[in-house]
Amino acid sequence: IAYKNVIGNCRASWRIISNIEYEAQNTEHQQEIVKTYRKKIENELQDICHELLSLLDKHLILNATTTESKVFFLKMKGDYYRYLAEISTDNERQKFAKESKDAYTTAFDIAQNQMVATDPVRLGLALNFSIFYYEIANEPDISTRLSKQAFDDALLELDGLSEDAYRESSAIMQLLRTNFKLWTNNEYDSNGTNQQEEQ
């Protein structure tokens, strides 16, 4: 959770400063300050991502003893490579996107075969994998199909859940539905980008 909070703050800061830099009609000096600050945030984000990815590869994924933990850690690996792809360009972006997709795909295959459709880890994976397809791979058809399928599959199994499990699963399902609606209605913010919900 500590990594998630730190990385979330860094990503939010990076998006804000990138928008400021993009929209800036400032002096050359002001633009240089914004660029320097953006680079500082990128470096911090890269350091955190690489640290966590190393931990995942060397320890957490290798030592995962349950299906749920293995899928969860592979999802995290996909997430952190996606974060790196978000702030990268050209070959580096492609490399990180491939690593992200590979991790998500492995996790997704395991989850589809070994976890119930209402499992919060499986739903969270579908949510974040669909965001990958929308934001990084630029494949909106796959992202909408993936989010809709995860939502529909889970909807069929909701009735048998305990109250707590129902609440947790339905919260993630709502995020899937929100993103699906955004993507199919092409509702963009003022910067021309979607503001997806993710877990």
What 124-127 contacts at long range (C-beta under 8 Å, 24+ apart), as own/partner pairs, is: 124/75, 124/172, 124/199, 125/71, 125/75, 125/78, 126/150, 126/176, 127/172, 127/175, 127/176, 127/179, 127/197, 127/198, 127/199
Has residue 25 got a pLDDT over 70? no
Q: Where residue 190 falls among pLDDT bands split at 50, 70, 90?
A: very low
Q: Which residues make Cβ contacts (< 8 Å) with residue 57, sequence separation at least 6?
A: 77
To the nearest whole percent, how much of the chain has pLDDT over 70?
A: 90
pLDDT digits (tens, 9 = 90+) for 80-125: 999 999 999 999 999 999 999 999 999 999 999 999 999 999 999 9
Please identify which residue in the block is written with the tokens 């492995």.
Answer: 106
The better pLDDT of the pair 8, 26 is held by 8
Question: pLDDT tens for residues 113-159?
Answer: 999 999 999 999 999 999 999 999 999 999 999 999 999 999 999 88
**Higher per-residue pLDDT: 145 or 21:** 145
- Residue 55: in which H helix or E strand, if any? helix 28-55
Confidence band, pLDDT 50/70/90 cuts, at residue 18: confident
pTM, two decimal places: 0.85
